[in-house]
């Protein structure tokens, strides 16, 4: 029977690599109990950096076991491919494989032309170690680098497949190849906005009928010898621990800046009837998505306007009214300027009218910091977990309200998560993205 009914999109699988752990159970337990994943940085020396703490995904070693249970042929493929994956890419592929396992989806039983991948990533940087030996070969004296020696002595010491380890389109490429997914494929590099943008594009691909299933998410790593230094020169970083040993305190009056971290999140999206037909366990429904860029005439970013626009777009075309939003998962960067802009956007939509419904606001960055491109995807997983358990996790370290951040901050574990939630991400370049999800109740 031909029908013009809109296609509904549901989440049937989730995977995560994060400072809180690499399973949905450990992540939720950390959120529920208030266990912070931020600690002293162990992956690189910090004596010459302005920060000593970060959100490291310490349980992720880049070993084949970190990719979850795999068929023998796929395990062999991924193990072989590890040598051409940097840490960002490894985390992204692992999160995707964990999501497929969680969805109990056997990709050999579906039409590969109707399943694709949209994945976000940062502009991935190489590490200095990749060129150490090559540069050493170009010194003709203890302190003199001879560039003329590079073609004959240096370049031969660079791994031939070096570039493949750092291309931001490789997470999507690896995921598609390992699982023989031949449908729509794309890679997005919009910094922190990437995760929600990737989920939004995957959602739209299913709604418009270009695919029936999609793997989506994002991966990022801000704990890197060069990237950390670059961010430190551009951004407000938390350089000291606050009371309670919690360095990242979004929206709190005493916040001192953002904390850097690393991680990846992935989701399996399916058209509702396709999911039902295979007996899938449905975790949530994606209702809408939105994105916006807002610049003032002098090219100064207007993040507050972009965030408000993205939230409106996510709710537009749905039956969800502002009064029905159960909670907002804020970007919650922890910097003075970004938190103020985000709080004003939330207030503009939800709190401007007397007696308006103001949903509680949480921010998982207080648990693990800013994971770069991976942050929105990991936070969306946290949002869905909160909806499933009907319990909203608090903003860690939020003690003193800031008058410039007029939000209803979640501060305890007794706050209901509601039935619907907005997940917000944005960049300091003015790009905002938002996804609206609903707790799954059969119907």
Q: What is the 3-state secondary structure (H, E, C) of the chain?
A: CCCCCCCCEEEEEEEEEECCECCHHHHHHHHHHCCCCCEECCCCCCCCCCCCEEECCCCCCCCHHHHCCCCHHHHHHHHHHHHHCCHHHHHHHHHHHHHHHHHCCCHHHCCHHHEEEEEEECCCCCCHHHHHHHHHCCEEECCEECHHHHHHHHHHHCCCCHHHHCCCCHHHHHHHHHHCCCCCEEEECCHHHHHHHHHHHHHHHHHCCCCCEEEEEEEEECCCHHHHHHHHHHCCECCCCCHHHCCCCCCECCCCCECEEEEEEEEEEEEHHHHHHCCCCCCEEEEEEEEEECECCCCCECHHHHHHHHHHHHHCCCCCCHHHCCEEECCCCCCHHHHHHHHHHHHHHHCCCCCCCCCEEECCHHHHCECHHHHHHHHHHHHHHHHHHCCECCCCCCCCECCCCCCEECCCCCECCCCEEEEEEECCCCEEEEEEEEECCCC
Task: In whole angstroms, give the CA distance from residue 152 to residue 232.
Answer: 36
Look over the chain and give the mean of its residue pLDDT values, rounded to a whole number: 93
Length of the chain: 443
Nearest to 38 by CA among 423, 370, 329, 411: 370
Question: Residue 245: its pLDDT value, please?
Answer: 64
Question: Residue 314: its pLDDT value, please?
Answer: 97
Task: In whole angstroms, give the CA distance from residue 9 to residue 442.
Answer: 13
Listed in sequence order, the residues at least 6 apart from 307 whose beta carbon sits closer than 8 Å to its beta carbon are 292, 331, 341, 342, 345, 346, 424, 426, 432, 434
pLDDT at 54 over 70: yes
Task: In whole angstroms, give the CA distance from residue 430 to residue 295.
Answer: 7
Q: Which of 47-51, 63-67, 94-98 has the lowest mean pLDDT?
A: 47-51
Residue extents of the structural domains in the chain: 9-125+166-439
Question: What's the pLDDT band for 2 if we cut at 50, 70, 90?
Answer: very low
Nearest to 337 by CA among 290, 362, 300: 300
Listed in sequence order, the residues at least 6 apart from 169 whose beta carbon sits closer than 8 Å to its beta carbon are 121, 187
Share of the chain above pLDDT 70, in %: 97
Question: Residue 335: its pLDDT value, please?
Answer: 95
Output the pTM of the full model.
Answer: 0.94
pLDDT at 3 over 70: no
Question: What's the pLDDT band for 191 if we cut at 50, 70, 90?
Answer: very high
pLDDT at 128 over 50: yes
Mean pLDDT for 53-77 is 95
Question: Residue 4: its pLDDT value, please?
Answer: 62
Listed in sequence order, the residues at least 6 apart from 65 whose beta carbon sits closer than 8 Å to its beta carbon are none
Task: In whole angstroms, give the CA distance from residue 322 to residue 358.
Answer: 9
pLDDT at 48 over 90: no
Q: What is the pLDDT of residues 199-244, one digit of tens each?
A: 999 999 999 999 999 999 999 999 988 888 888 888 899 876 544 4
Share of the chain above pLDDT 90, in %: 79
Q: Does domain 9-125+166-439 have CATH number 3.40.50.620?
A: no
Question: Residue 241: its pLDDT value, please?
Answer: 52
- Residue that wins the pLDDT comparison between 107 and 442: 107
Contact assessment for residue 55 and residue 20, using Cβ atoms and an 8 Å cutoff: no
Looking at the DSSP bridge assignments, the partners of residue 435 are 289, 423
Residues 158-195, buried b or exposed e (16+ Cβ, 10 A)?
A: eeeeeebbbebbbbbbbbbebbebebbbbbbbbbbbbb
Listed in sequence order, the residues at least 6 apart from 153 whose beta carbon sits closer than 8 Å to its beta carbon are 137, 138
Task: In whole angstroms, give the CA distance from residue 369 to residue 223.
Answer: 11
Q: What is the pLDDT of residues 241-298, one digit of tens each?
A: 544 467 899 999 999 999 999 999 999 999 999 999 999 999 999 999 999 999 878 7
Question: Residue 300: its pLDDT value, please?
Answer: 83
Instruction: Report angle CA 24, 291, 276 to the nearest 5 degrees.
Output: 45
Mean pLDDT for 62-66 is 96
Contact assessment for residue 425 and residue 370, using Cβ atoms and an 8 Å cutoff: no
């Amino acid at each position: 029977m031909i029908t013009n009914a809109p296609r509904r999109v549901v989440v049937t699988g989730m995977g995560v690599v994060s400072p809180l752990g690499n399973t949905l159970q450990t992540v939720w337990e950390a959120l529920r109990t208030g266990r912070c994943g931020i600690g002293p940085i162990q992956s690189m020396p910090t004596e010459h950096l302005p920060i000593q703490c970060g959100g490291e995904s310490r349980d992720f070693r880049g070993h084949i076991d970190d990719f979850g249970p795999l068929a023998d042929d796929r395990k062999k493929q991924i193990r072989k491919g590890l040598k051409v994956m940097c840490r960002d890419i490894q985390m992204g592929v692992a999160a995707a494989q964990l999501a497929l396992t969680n969805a109990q989806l056997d990709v050999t039983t579906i039409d590969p032309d109707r399943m694709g991948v949209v994945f976000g990533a940062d502009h991935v940087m190489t590490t200095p170690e990749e060129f150490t030996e090559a540069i050493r070969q170009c010194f003709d004296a203890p302190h003199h680098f001879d560039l003329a020696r590079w073609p004959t002595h240096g370049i031969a010491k660079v791994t031939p497949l070096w570039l493949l380890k750092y291309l931001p389109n490789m997470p999507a490429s690896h995921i598609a190849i390992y699982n023989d997914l031949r449908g729509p494929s794309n890679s997005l590099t919009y910094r922190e906005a990437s995760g929600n943008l990737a989920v939004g594009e995957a959602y739209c691909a299913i709604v418009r009928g270009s695919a029936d299933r999609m793997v989506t998410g994002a991966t990022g790593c801000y704990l890197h010898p060069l990237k950390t230094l670059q961010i430190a020169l551009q951004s407000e970083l938390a350089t000291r621990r606050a009371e309670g040993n919690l360095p990242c305190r979004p929206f709190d009056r005493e916040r001192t800046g953002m904390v850097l971290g690393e991680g990846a999140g992935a989701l399996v999206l399916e058209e509702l009837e396709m999911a039902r037909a295979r007996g899938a366990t449905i975790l949530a429904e994606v209702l809408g998505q939105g994105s916006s860029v807002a610049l003032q005439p002098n090219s100064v970013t207007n993040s507050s306007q972009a965030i408000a626009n993205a939230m409106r777009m996510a709710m537009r075309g749905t039956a969800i009214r502002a009064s029905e939003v159960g909670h907002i998962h804020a970007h919650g960067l922890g910097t003075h300027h970004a938190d103020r802009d985000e709080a004003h956007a939330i207030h503009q939509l939800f709190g401007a009218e007397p007696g308006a419904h103001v949903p509680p606001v949480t921010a998982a960055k207080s648990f693990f910091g800013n994971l770069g491109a991976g942050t929105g995807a990991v936070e969306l997983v946290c949002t869905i977990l909160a909806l499933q358990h009907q319990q909203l996790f608090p903003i860690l370290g939020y003690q003193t309200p800031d008058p410039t951040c007029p939000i209803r901050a979640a501060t305890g574990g007794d706050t209901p998560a509601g039935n619907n939630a907005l997940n917000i991400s944005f960049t300091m370049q003015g790009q905002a993205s938002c996804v609206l999800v609903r707790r799954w109740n059969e119907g």
